[in-house]
Amino acid sequence: MNLAAASRSGLSLRFEGAAKNYGDVAALKPTDLTVSASEFLTLLGPSGSGKTTLLNLAAGYLEPSAGRIFIGEREVTHVPARRRNIGMVFQNYALFPHMSVGENVAYGLKVRRVERAEVARRVEAALRLVQLDGFGHRAIQQLSGGQQQRVALARALVIEPDVLLMDEPLGALDKQLRRSVQLELRRLHEEHQRTTIYVTHDQEEALVLSDRIAVMRDGRIEQLGTASDLYDRPVNAFVAGFIGESNLLPARVTAIEGDRAQADVDALCHSVTAAAAPGLQAGKEAALLIRPEHVLLGAAPGIAAEIVELVYLGELTALNLRLPGGATLWARQITGHDLRRGTQVSIGWRHDNARIVPA
Amino acid sequence: MSRHRLETVCLLAPALAFLLLLFVVPLARLFSLAFTDEGGAFATFAILAESEVYRRVMVNTLIVAVAVTLITVVLAWPVAYALSRLKGFWFALALYGVLFPFWISVLVRTFSWMILLERNGPINRLLQGIGVTDQPLALLFNDTGVMIGMVHVLLPYAIMPLYAAMVRIDRRLLLASDGLGAGLFDTFRRVYFPLALPGLLGGATFVFLLSLGFFITPALLGGANAITLSMLIASFVTDRLAWSLAAAGSLVLLVVVLVLLGLAARLLPLDKGMLAR
């Protein structure tokens, strides 16, 4: 059975109230999460947010303190990693240094007592899949970081895992290489549709790769959704700040009507009406979110601001604008406007491009 | 460049001169004695080759060395593993436990074993007390006593290299093996053991070479019933004043050691796994 034909497989993965405590410290608070079959889901968050804990629970390297875990319809809560049929790619690859490339890839098949000729054939197919044909006899130490990363991927894929798990697999690569491997990973997932959970702290990587993204903080999932859900409709200031560039101005909610809210924004010296995130409460601290590309220059009526900094980014120029209250905003404009530091401008935004989110 | 070389020579000179004068020259002089027998240049070697006693002692020495090496390595494995897993206070305690015997003279330790292993010593009394044996066991002045004493003295030499290899094994490799579906036995056989092997072989080589030339412990704990090569060589000198025979015996031992080392380096994968991260 060849690797390409084997797939369209992959099983769903479900956490039901899964939690992990170390003494009094909760590394993961009770979490429900369902990863559909064939889905590419990214766990995105800063270090210590619980994303690696969640991945290790899925792999079976950790046992949950509470809750249950299912792969497909099978409960695996207390099943060790070796009996879960998962494929794991580690951050530092964890390739066996005393084995050749081919032996590394063959490992999972050998311990499954797969027949020798079959092992050889599948190892070759897996190496071809990651474009390392002919590298079977090389020593691991002879490979570059990017090549080692692909060996780790081949080793995880060759066993045809029900779920592929990746823990910051591109963390050790330089930026340019990372971009090309990202596209490679996406191509592989589109071809083979293997259920994948991917851990990263790099939001750009998450946006490029994922069907859905779970943004994590302090051991819980803050928001789960598609890239545009998270970018256009963040549920709070943390998610807004973590995905994309954002201006967040402290605000106090005064009134909520349906999906709109009114808030006092000190930095603007007046009240603002904007789209409301769910969970807003009148009187509570909140933040006004405006993405830099939504800040309009020369709006009338507008808010007076001074350009304090210009950053040339090629086709775009980033502007840092000081508001009357002293706070600053970032804006982005197509390069070519006659903009100078110190210029007074009038700024504004469309109402549906501003959003009030819980702080 | 030449200045650099001059510095190197100056820095090395004292140690080299010391070794040359006090070690290499006397050793060469000793070995030259082997060829000075009245019967001809190789007469001493002929005597040794024909001597039944010498052959028996040679074989016994090798057997004891192999047995000591095996026992030591087997005992060292769990200790080294525990050391590699311990942290902080417990690690320090265990490490000093392993190294502590170095602070005590081999002589003192060997005499202590004589007291412990005596016919009516604490070990025999304990064994009789719990009903393992009716008669006191002969633990002293035979190969058993020699091996007990030697294993004790040589254990740290096996533990330390093994520990060094084990502590360098990346735990994530074991997790990776587990995740790829390997059971504990497969993970041990295919990942952990091969990566610890250089340390094991290094330690075993140390222990084997040291036990081949061991003198004090076998002399005191083995006595006349368990003669080793070093004891025989000593008796050539002290009892029979046969310097040429002693020199020939030493030379043969040295050659045997070098041949075994050469074979070990050729046959065993001493360098494999050395690159483990």
Q: Is B62 exposed, middle or buried (0-12, 13-18, 19+ CB in 10 A)?
A: middle
* Segment B125-158, tens digit of pLDDT: 888 888 888 888 888 888 888 999 999 999 999 9
* Segment B85-102, tens digit of pLDDT: 999 999 999 999 999 888
With contacts defined as CB-CB under 8 Å, which chain B residues touch A141? 275
A13-27, A217-231, A343-357: lowest mean pLDDT where?
A343-357
Q: Mean per-residue pLDDT for A317-321?
A: 90
User: In angstroms, what separates the C-alpha of A94 from chain B's closest C-alpha?
Assistant: 5
3-state secondary structure A317-351: EEEEEECCCCCEEEEEEEECECCCCCCEEEEECCH
Question: How far out from the chain centre does Cα B235 lie?
Answer: 22
Put simply, the answer to whether B181 touches A108 (Cβ < 8 Å) is yes
Per DSSP, B100 falls in state: G
Q: Mean per-residue pLDDT for A65-93?
A: 93
Residues of B with CB under 8 A from a CB of A: 170, 172-173, 175-183, 186, 190-191, 194-195, 272-273, 275-277
Which pLDDT score is estimated for A244? 86
With contacts defined as CB-CB under 8 Å, which chain A residues touch B190? 96, 107, 110-111
User: Where along chain B do its domains lie?
Assistant: 1-33, 44-267
* Segment A93-114, tens digit of pLDDT: 999 999 999 999 999 999 999 9
Side by side, which strands form the sheet with A86-89? A86-89, A163-167, A196-200, A40-44, A212-217, A220-225
With contacts defined as CB-CB under 8 Å, which chain A residues touch B275? 97-98, 141
Q: Which domains are assigned to chain A?
A: 3-232 (3.40.50.300), 245-358 (2.40.50.140)
Band of pLDDT at residue B51, cut at 50, 70 and 90: confident
- By Cβ distance, the residue of A82, A98, A107 closest to B272 is A98
- By Cβ distance, the residue of B173, B190, B275 closest to A94 is B173
Band of pLDDT at residue A359, cut at 50, 70 and 90: confident
Which pLDDT score is estimated for B68? 95
With contacts defined as CB-CB under 8 Å, which chain B residues touch A157? none
Put simply, the answer to whether A81 touches B179 (Cβ < 8 Å) is yes
Which pLDDT score is estimated for A28? 94
Q: Is the dihedral of CA A312, A313, A319, A320 positive or negative?
A: negative
Which pLDDT score is estimated for B277? 33
Q: CA separation (Å) from A319 to A306, A324, A335, A343, B10?
A: 10, 16, 11, 11, 66
User: In angstroms, what separates the C-alpha of A81 from chain B's closest C-alpha?
Assistant: 5
- By Cβ distance, the residue of A80, A85, A95 closest to B178 is A80
User: In angstroms, what separates the C-alpha of B275 from chain A's closest C-alpha?
Assistant: 7
- Minimal Cα distance from A142: which residue of B? B275
Which residue(s) pair with B198 in the sheet? Answer: none
Which pLDDT score is estimated for A171? 83
Put simply, the answer to whether B179 touches A97 (Cβ < 8 Å) is no
Per DSSP, B24 falls in state: I
A255-264 exposure pattern, b = at least 16 Cβ within 10 A, e = fewer: eeeeeebbbb
Q: Dump the DSSP string for A168-179.
A: STTTTS-HHHHH
Put simply, the answer to whether A108 touches B275 (Cβ < 8 Å) is no
What percent of chain B clears pLDDT 90, i.e. is strictly above it? Answer: 40
Q: Mean per-residue pLDDT for A339-359?
A: 87
Distance separating alpha carbons of residues B245 and B34, to the nearest angstrom: 6
A51-68 exposure pattern, b = at least 16 Cβ within 10 A, e = fewer: bbbbbbbbbbbbebeebe
Give the other-Cβ count within 10 Å of B111's Cβ. Answer: 13
Band of pLDDT at residue B11, cut at 50, 70 and 90: very high
**pLDDT over 70 (residue A291):** yes
The CA-based angle B17-B19-B20, given to 5 degrees, is 60
Residues of A with CB under 8 A from a CB of B: 59-61, 80-88, 90, 92, 94-98, 107-108, 110-112, 141, 155-156, 159
- Minimal Cα distance from A104: which residue of B? B177
User: In angstroms, what separates the C-alpha of A100 from chain B's closest C-alpha?
Assistant: 12
Which pLDDT score is estimated for B75? 96
Distance separating alpha carbons of residues B188 and A281, to the nearest angstrom: 58
Distance separating alpha carbons of residues A93 and A167, to the nearest angstrom: 9
With contacts defined as CB-CB under 8 Å, which chain A residues touch B180? 82, 88, 107-108, 111, 155-156, 159
Its CATH class, for the domain covering B44-267, is: mainly alpha
**pLDDT over 50 (residue A5):** no
Which pLDDT score is estimated for B274? 41
Distance separating alpha carbons of residues A219 and A346, to the nearest angstrom: 42
Distance separating alpha carbons of residues B84 and A264, to the nearest angstrom: 60
* Segment A116-128, tens digit of pLDDT: 999 999 999 999 9
A147-151, A308-312, B39-43, B71-75: lowest mean pLDDT where?
B39-43
One-letter amino acid for residue A120 of the chain: A
With contacts defined as CB-CB under 8 Å, which chain A residues touch B186? 111
**Whole-model pTM over 0.95:** no
How many CA atoms within 13 Å lie on the side-chain side of A115?
2
**pLDDT over 60 (residue A356):** yes
Distance separating alpha carbons of residues A58 and A18, to the nearest angstrom: 10
Look over chain B and give the mean of its residue pLDDT values, rounded to a whole number.
87
With contacts defined as CB-CB under 8 Å, which chain B residues touch A61? 175, 178-179
User: In angstroms, what separates the C-alpha of B90 from chain A's closest C-alpha?
Assistant: 21
Put simply, the answer to whether A94 touches B183 (Cβ < 8 Å) is no
Put simply, the answer to whether A97 touches B172 (Cβ < 8 Å) is no
Identify whether the C-beta of residue A140 lies closer than 8 Å to the C-beta of residue A96. yes
Which has the higher per-residue pLDDT, B153 or A284? B153
- Minimal Cα distance from A158: which residue of B? B180
Identify whether the C-beta of residue A76 lies closer than 8 Å to the C-beta of residue A165. no
Q: Mean per-residue pLDDT for A329-341?
A: 83
Between helix B229-238 and helix B243-267 the angle, nearest 10°, is 160
Which pLDDT score is estimated for B276? 37
